[in-house]
Amino acid sequence: MRLLVSVGAGSLKKNFVRVHVRDHGDDVVVLDKLTYAGRRENLQDVEHEFVHGAIEDPRAVAEAIDGADAVVNFAAETHVDRSIAEPDAFVRTHAQGTYVLLETARARGVRYLQVSTDEVYGSIAEGSFTESSPLAPSSPYSATKAGADLLVSSYHHTFGLDTLICRGSNNYGPYQYPEKLIPLMVLNALHGDRLPVYGDGMNVRNWLFVEDFARGIGHVLEHGVPGEAYNVGGPDECPNIEVVRRVIELTGAGEGLIEYVTDRPGHDRRYSLGSEKVRALGWEAQVRFAEGVERTVAWYRDNAWWWEPIRSGEYRAYYERQYGRALS
Ligand code: DAU
């Protein structure tokens, strides 16, 4: 099978491409405009073709889709805090980009999978969201992801396009850009920098190891029913402050580094996904949080070559803007 993976040089995409090339023998074309989190070196150990371009550019998409049997769109402006500071890129990538990819997939008649997020359902105090829960997004990030999901469904409903949607919970693991909670805490702890916890630290996330989500997306691509959405949730839920304490234990840092900072505006309290539907297709998460976070900390400890250029580049300015203090 030949796959077009759009926006494919981040952590999840790397894992997805590796699994498909290595385990399925697929040909993969990666289309990516290589913004701050998409890095060519993430894919240096995986055979693939690469097209440098944006998903909202019809010419780049037409070039990349040539000969593909399926499109997997990671539609990937991923960071909620950036969507609050600068929503325009989120509208462009998720709305216009998804539209261009859908149109191109429709013209070629190829299967289309949209990678989405549990955040489209909003926050839930108790219980878990199913695929038929209403969409109630809270941030520019999740609202543009929800809009893209609706557009995908409309292409199935109106044009009969063979579409699938995969909604994942919070990913973590190697190669994740250190704007996200776990890699940020790991690198700050390793450097003796403050650990900025938003609000009271009791927001709960449903943690999913990146390799499990990559396999889940592949599983849905292979076995999913056209027109359907599938939740792919992690096996464990955990309040942020416990995640931070676990990172402190694993890095040997001190609790004194914890700093409670101003909460994220509109911060969702808790996410929780029910994943029975994808389990019925035969997918199961394999990595529990305790093991995954240990593997993640070990990876960051051993791979300074990967994060050193990040901590000395654009990220440094982002960090100062976001947290009002410099990194050490
Ligand atoms: O739920 C799936 C989503 O998970 C994905 O769709 C998003 O692409 C991904 O960014 C992630 O969103 P979150 O906002 O949940 O992830 P983040 O790592 O930014 O934050 C996790 C929690 O930690 C959240 O409650 C905010 C909190 N946090 C985050 C950062 C960066 C802090 O307390 N301090 C921080 O410095």
Q: DSSP H helical segments within the chain, as ranges?
A: 11-24, 58-65, 80-85, 88-90, 98-108, 140-159, 181-191, 210-223, 240-251, 276-280, 289-302, 304-311, 314-323
pLDDT score of 14: 87
| CA-nearest residue, atom 16 of ligand 1 | 180
Q: What is the pTM of this model?
A: 0.97
Cα–Cα distance for residue pair 294/291, rounded to 1 Å: 5
First to last CA, the chain: 47
Indicate which residue's Cα is closest to atom 29 of ligand 1: 181
The Å distance, Cα 328 to ligand 1 centre, comes to 22
- Number of Cβ within 10 Å of residue 13's Cβ equals 28
Identity of residue 83: S
- Give residue-wise pLDDT tens across range 116-133: 999 999 999 999 999 999
Q: What is the atom index within ligand 1 of the atom nearest the CA of 268?
A: 25
**Which tens digits make up the pLDDT trace of 192-203?**
999 999 999 999
For the Cβ of 275 lying below 6 angstroms from any atom of ligand 1, the answer is: no
**Is the C-beta atom of 196 inside 6 A of ligand 1?**
yes
Question: Does the beta carbon of 116 sit less than 6 angstroms from any atom of ligand 1?
Answer: no
The pLDDT, as a whole number, for residue 8 is: 60
- Cα 114 from Cα 148, distance rounded (Å): 8
Q: What is the pLDDT of residue 40?
A: 80
Atom of ligand 1 nearest to the CA of 80: 14
